[in-house]
């Protein structure tokens, strides 16, 4: 369990994080999303012990991070937004170096390095110098570096930022594989990525945590109506009259053999669902709509 208890962080007069309170259960993946400068990176750097809070307390498995920094850092793997890697060593040498720094036993380090390089698809690059790696390869190597000590908690700061679509997908697939028996904290600008990978989302704006919940609960709380597209075999007058007379439903569009209907709940479509349906599609807005609702500029 990770707990932020009334945590604030100031840089001079600037409040980067304002009384943050979050509880993160073991074994889940949470997304930290927010505009540029919202406080996302500050929050995860505080967790990793890179920054110290101005006030408040961070607990990991009941231990205070400020009192037990070494014990807690041993169970955290961190991939920063700009994972600067040493250029001169070979990939295998780099991982071995960091593994020994983290206390991986010398008689186990080679096996651990080989396992990680295989996991991220770099086995054939073990003896290549880091200076020869592309950006995508460096990112995968940096992930291996973050995992070298088999951490219980993994923190990713913008892991797919600036990568091509194929490499980004490979990184996301890799994160999915890591989810078993680990707590993952993913800081990202991409709502699609957060929605695809995370169990819960924390939305931050101007240093304040605006919301922290499951994606489904966030949608239910901030998206008041849902939109459904229903294809009907027979578009009869009777069904159209029933919908028009039901205050819970609103027809947004009527095609030759389909209806676009707005409703608060799925069950409100009972009149339509009794008909012979060709297809059914939920067009309810994504997490991005929740994000805009919470942090977008209000006119």
What confidence score (pLDDT) does residue 98 get?
Answer: 93
Tens-place pLDDT, residues 230-281? 887 777 777 778 778 887 788 888 887 787 888 777 677 766 766 667 777 7
Q: Does 209 lie in the same domain as 93?
A: yes
Averaged pLDDT for residues 27-46: 91
- Give yes or no: residues 143 and 212 share one domain: yes
Whether 271 and 209 share a structural domain: no
Sorted by sequence, the CB contacts under 8 Å of residue 57 that are 6+ apart come out as: 3, 5, 6, 7, 64, 65, 66
Same-domain status, 153 and 124: yes
Q: What is the pLDDT of residues 110-140, one digit of tens each?
A: 999 999 998 888 999 999 999 999 988 898 8
pLDDT at 62: 92
Question: Are 91 and 233 in the same domain?
Answer: no
Task: Tell me how far apart the alpha carbons of residues 211 and 54 are, in angstroms, rounded to a whole number.
Answer: 22
- Domains contained in the chain, number: 2
User: What percent of the chain clears pLDDT 90, i.e. is strictly above it?
Assistant: 46
Picking from 150, 231, 160, 149, the residue whose alpha carbon sits closest to that of residue 191 is 160
Is 212 strand, coil or helix? Answer: strand
For residue 59, CA distances in Å to 7, 47, 49, 65, 157 come to: 11, 9, 11, 6, 20
Q: What pLDDT was estimated at residue 299?
A: 39
Residue (of 89, 87, 59) closest to 72 by Cα position:
59
Q: In this structure, what token pair is assigned to residue 298?
A: 């209000």
Look at residue 214 and tell me if it is in a domain.
Answer: yes
Write down the pLDDT at residue 129: 95
Averaged confidence pLDDT in the chain:
86
pLDDT in tens, 275-295: 667 777 777 667 777 777 777
Q: Tell me: do 206 and 231 sit in the same domain.
A: no
Domain span at 246: 224-283
Same domain, residue pair 76 and 184: yes
What pLDDT shows up at residue 266?
67
Which whole number is the average pLDDT over 140-155?
Answer: 92
Residues 40, 8 within the same domain: yes
90 assigned to some structural domain: yes
pLDDT computed for residue 127 by the predictor:
95
Q: Which of the four pLDDT bands, split at 50, 70 and 90, describes residue 219?
A: confident
Q: Does residue 163 sit in the same domain as residue 276?
A: no
Same-domain pairing of 120 and 253: no
Do 211 and 250 share a domain, yes or no?
Answer: no
- Domain end (from 195, 220, 245): 220
CA dist., res. 10 & res. 246, Å (int): 53
Q: What is the CATH number of the domain that holds 269?
A: 3.30.70
Rg (the chain; Cα; Å):
24
Better-scored residue on pLDDT, 241 or 69:
69
**What's the token pair of residue 124?**
């054939």
Both 68 and 122 in one domain: the answer is: yes
Q: Where is the domain boundary, 220, 236, 254?
A: 220
pLDDT tens digits for range 71-109: 999 999 999 988 889 999 999 999 999 999 988 999 999
Whether 154 is in a domain gets the answer: yes
Q: What CATH number should be reported for the domain holding residue 83?
A: 3.40.50.300
Query: For the chain, what percent of residues have pLDDT higher than 70?
Result: 94
pLDDT at residue 238, rounded to an integer? 77
Distances (CA, A) of 128 to 111, 122, 163, 261: 18, 10, 21, 57
Residues 6 or more apart whose CB falls under 8 angstroms from that of 271 comprise 239, 242, 243, 246, 249
Classify burial at 134, counting beta carbons within 10 Å of its beta carbon; exposed 0-12, middle 13-18, buried 19 or more.
Answer: exposed
Confidence (pLDDT) at 152: 93
Kindly report, residue by residue over 149-177, the tens digit of the pLDDT.
989 999 999 888 888 888 888 888 888 88
**Does position 16 have pLDDT exceeding 70, yes or no?**
yes
State the pLDDT at residue 273. 64
């Amino acid at each position: 369990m990770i707990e932020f208890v009334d945590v604030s962080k100031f840089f001079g007069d600037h409040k980067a994080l304002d009384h943050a309170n979050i509880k993160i259960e073991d074994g889940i993946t949470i997304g930290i999303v927010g505009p540029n400068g919202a406080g996302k990176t500050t929050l995860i750097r505080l967790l990793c012990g890179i920054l110290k809070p101005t006030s408040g307390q961070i607990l990991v498995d009941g231990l205070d991070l400020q009192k037990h920094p070494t014990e807690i850092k041993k169970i955290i793997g961190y991939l920063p937004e700009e994972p600067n890697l040493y250029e001169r060593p070979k990939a295998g040498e780099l991982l071995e170096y960091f593994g020994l720094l983290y206390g991986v036993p010398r008689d186990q380090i080679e096996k651990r390095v080989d396992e990680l390089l295989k996991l991220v698809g770099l086995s054939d690059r073990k003896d290549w110098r880091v200076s020869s790696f592309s950006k995508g390869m460096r990112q995968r190597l940096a992930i291996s570096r973050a995992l070298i000590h088999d951490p219980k908690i993994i923190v990713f700061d913008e892991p797919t930022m600036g990568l091509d679509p194929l490499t980004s997908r490979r990184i996301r697939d890799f994160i999915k594989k890591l989810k078993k028996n680990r707590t993952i904290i993913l800081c990202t600008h991409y709502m699609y990525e957060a929605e695809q990978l995370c169990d819960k989302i924390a939305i931050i704006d101007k240093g304040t945590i605006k919301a922290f919940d499951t994606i489904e609960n966030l949608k239910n709380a901030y998206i008041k109506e849902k939109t459904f597209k229903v294809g009907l075999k027979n578009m009869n007058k009777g069904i159209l009259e029933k919908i028009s007379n039901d205050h819970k439903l609103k027809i947004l569009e009527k095609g030759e053999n389909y209806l676009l209907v707005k409703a608060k709940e799925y069950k409100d479509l009972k009149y339509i669902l009794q008909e012979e349906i060709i297809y059914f599609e939920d067009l309810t807005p994504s997490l991005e709509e929740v994000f805009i609702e919470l942090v977008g500029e209000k006119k």
